Amino acid sequence: MPPYLIKAMSKAIKIVLKPGKEDALRRFHPWVFSGAIHKVEGQPQDGDFVEVFSSANQYMGCGLFQHSSIAVRLMAFAPHRPQELDLEFWQHKLQKAFGMRQSIGLTQSDHTNVYRLVHGEGDLLPGLIIDHYNGNLVVQAHAIGIHKYRETIAQALEQIYGSELKSIYYKSNDTLPAEFASAQPTEGFLRGNNPSAVVLEYGNKFEIDFVSGQKTGFFIDQRENRHLLARYAAGKTVLNTFCYSGGFSVYALQAGARSVESLDSSKKALELAEKNVALNFADTHNHSVIQADAVPFIRDNRKVYDLIILDPPAFAKHNKVRHNALQAYKRLNAEAIRQISPGGILFTFSCSQVVSMALFKATVIAAAIQAGREASILHQLTQPADHPVNAFHPEGEYLKGLVLYIS
């Protein structure tokens, strides 16, 4: 009998669900909400390993506990019953995630050495993000339980990457509960000490500052959309708004854009964008940066462009503010569409998880109507395969994009 089927006398704290609340777990949904819990046998601390049972006392799975609305993040489902999350457990899970990236051609590529190794729920590792930057890994915990295992996770990563591993940076200050993060160190090197790395993405070079950059240092999720942009950028005048480190700008210049203006409200982001343009091109005369709030800038700027990119941060973080967010997307898109020359292109995105593709599309179409311009949808875009959506957790789908041809 395989070890996980042995009915062990578990020492884990037991969480018993209310009747019917086990259904979601049978469908492999990886969260237990606090409202679904009938009783807790023991006194779990934040981050403790717990076992979850149905109201009929059937073992459903195990995971990491936290005193919050998501009370348990499931790390294994029945019949799997690990007695603890030891090195072997992490090796197995992380090797699986690595194997997937290998099978989609990201681990051995000549032109790309930046990818997401672990995408939380999408890799059945809720609360954990790991990004790979040319041998440097950035580990990010979104749950206290993951924080507790950071050293074991680092050991497992060392075994997977071997001599190719240059550093592991742990970066969780902004993603763990604020009270927890302020009481202990939640950032720092777990291995090595490279503060930045130069990576290749479809042959374009980017310097990634994972210590002081936004998120883990780079918006890896836009890789395939940046690649698509290159098809449309030759000879165009381009405005790249919300540009961060200049991802779309570098691709547009590489493709032969006539001029590219990179806009962001953050001075630090624009410094990174300029650095990345200089890293790729000896002559940077056709690139310029604008430090501004994109919304009034696009409204008041009377200049016309052949191609505009709108990639704002999430306007809506939860359902309550969704309506306002949709209005904001509509205004921004309408203003941008007005500034596009006839026969021009708009690349427009939303990374708000609560705004579905259907809603986003309806909003952008309404914006085109408001701008009084004919528009055709050329592409409907999403997040790339290294940011997978767990089939049992559709909430994991967050990035939406449209490419419009504006007549």
* Spatial distance between the Cα atoms of 115 and 107, rounded to a whole number of angstroms: 8
Q: Is residue 210 close enough to count as binding ligand SAH by CB under 6 A? A: no
Q: By CB under 6 A, what part of segment 245-304 binds ligand SAH?
A: 245, 247-248, 264-266, 269, 293-295
* Spatial distance between the Cα atoms of 134 and 118, rounded to a whole number of angstroms: 15
Q: What one-character DSSP code corresponds to residue 242?
A: S
Q: Which residue among 12, 52, 332, 351 is the active-site one?
A: 351
- Residue 61 or 401: which CB sits closer to ligand SAH? 401
Exactly one of 31, 170, 219, 251 binds ligand SAH (CB under 6 A); that residue is 219
Q: How far is the CB of 268 from ligand SAH (least distance, A)?
A: 8
- Residue 257 or 269: which CB sits closer to ligand SAH? 269
- Tell me if residue 243 is catalytic: no
15, 33, 52, 265 from 58: Cα distances, Å: 11, 18, 8, 53
Q: How many CA atoms lie within 13 A of 192 on its CB side?
A: 21
* Contact region with ligand SAH (CB under 6 A), list: 239-247, 325-333, 374-382, 391-399: 239-247
184, containing H or E segment: none
Residue 344's φ and ψ, nearest 5 degrees, are -90, 180
- Residue 265 or 288: which CB sits closer to ligand SAH? 265
- Residue 198 or 391: which CB sits closer to ligand SAH? 198
- Sequence-distant (6+) residues with CB within 8 A of 187 are 169, 170, 171, 172, 173, 211
8 A C-beta contact, residue 355 and residue 195: no
Question: Largest Cα–Cα distance in the chain?
Answer: 72
- Residue 53 or 244: which CB sits closer to ligand SAH? 244
Q: Is residue 52 close enough to count as binding ligand SAH by CB under 6 A? A: no
* Spatial distance between the Cα atoms of 22 and 61, rounded to a whole number of angstroms: 10
Q: How far is the CB of 73 from ligand SAH (least distance, A)?
A: 26
Q: Is residue 244 close enough to count as binding ligand SAH by CB under 6 A? A: yes
Q: How far is the CB of 349 from ligand SAH (least distance, A)?
A: 8
Considering CB under 6 A, how many residues would be counted as binding ligand SAH?
18
Residues with catalytic function = 351
The footprint of ligand SAH (CB under 6 A) covers 214, 219, 222, 242-245, 247-248, 264-266, 269, 293-295, 311, 313
